Amino acid sequence: MTNELRVFTFLRKNRFRKKRMMYKQAFHVMFDKTTAIYSGVLGIYMFAAFFIFGDFLEAYQPYFMTMEKYAEAGFGLFLTVLPIRYIIQSFRDPGVLFSSSDYQLMLLPYSKEKLWIIIFAWKWVKSIVIYAAAALLIGVMTPISASVIIAYVVLIAAYDLLMAVPQWKLFSQSWQIKLGFLFAAIAVNAAAGLFTQPYIAAGLVFAIFLIAVLVIQNMFRGIQWQKVTDASDFQIWRMPLIGYAAKTKFKRRRNHSMFPGHSRRKKPFVSNQAIFHRMWRVYFGKNMESAVQTIGVLVLMLTLLMVLHDHLFPIGVAVAIYTYTSIAASFYTDRMRSDILHVLPWNLEGYRQSYFIWVAAGGIFLFVPILIFHYVHFTLWSPLNLVFYCVVFSYIYNIKIEKSMAILAKQPARFEIAESMAVCFLILTAFSGTYPVLTGGAVLAAFLQFKKT
């Protein structure tokens, strides 16, 4: 362990020196001495004024007390929700940043197990320092009790330790396995909202501990080292200040597709639709991480709202429909402006029809918490609500895609009336929990949708 610790310290010291030199150069490019002095004085004055005028914090004291009340009541919920964060991160981040420099040490007489432990320990200690500093700042500036703050800090730090090995192993697995664990965790949270939460939370923690113990024996078997080092190097050397000073943007390497190669992919195309589907497969193979993270966040939001309050859930459905359709339209536009499609003529309608299959597949995952909610809170309006959500989603999706197609084809088109109707349907969706009779708007939405198609 001594040799590994020595070389680890050497690498981190030189990496810190190089980053400091780069930040120093960027600072000299962005600021001169006079601007830096005045900016520092202004920052000190604003920081001091924030504490001198204590009435600002006192005015928000009731909000802080309400926040503390919800934090105490939602500690068990946070205990079951937090693992979803690490599963979502596993799509882009191995958790333990094993850089290309660290990987080269494996070719020398150094133990990868010891190097991994040292790298993780260093990251965990830094995280604890950051959590402690944030907790101290919150404790000093707000009236939230220290016991609540410490409880959450300890919980997050404990999960960082407990989820390190599962996230590391999960990062190199296929997207199907990652999705399986993601929706298993979401199902556990849905069960926690329906049944006795403490027992489910304890069972989840025990299951994670058991998985970590089982995986730790083979934690380096089947690891995609190229993928790990690429992701780690991106995380280590992504410096926003440098990018801002140099007017450049750090981009992740896209050498790894989420979809492995199959022999059937080498077969000749039998139709244009098969070509369109293959192009979307290639695109999402490189961008599946972003798509899955978006879906995961929306599903998590719906799950939380399902547990918190009945009338908040329809509002979350409206937000999810708008967000998901907007991101789907942005993916469609980006596909037409990237790779080979940027220079070749394309059939927008054909790509649209093929694209809807992928959008609908992602929408199924969003529909799961909606079905669970209406199963638990079933009323005579529930079937009409489900139909209403589907029709509103289809209507808004088609409007956004048609608008994207008009922009891509550079054709004049007006969507003011259609977009206004879309806003009205979103408002009806948000208030459908309080006033279920509003779902009667599904008839009008369906009429408009079928008329457009």
Segment 192-234, tens digit of pLDDT: 766 656 777 788 888 888 888 888 888 888 888 888 888 888 8
Q: At residue 85, what is the residue type?
A: R
Sketch the domain layout of the chain as residue ranges: 1-53, 74-97+106-227, 272-452
- pLDDT interval class at 125 (50, 70, 90): very high
Alpha-carbon distance of 97 to 93, in angstroms, equals: 8
Q: What is the pLDDT of residues 13-44, one digit of tens each?
A: 888 888 888 877 777 777 666 766 777 777 77
Cα distance between residue 407 and residue 206, in whole Å: 52
Q: Helical H runs in 163-311?
A: 164-171, 175-194, 197-215, 225-237, 240-246, 272-308
Confidence grade of residue 452 (pLDDT, cut at 50, 70, 90): low
**Tokens standing for residue 189:** 């949270």
**pLDDT tens-digit map of 405-430:** 777 767 777 777 778 878 888 888 88
This prediction's pTM:
0.66
Residues counted in the chain: 453
Which residue blocks in 106-163 are alpha helix, DSSP H? 112-141, 146-162
- Residue-level pLDDT at 124: 92
Furthest CA-CA distance within the chain: 73
Is pLDDT of 129 > 80? yes
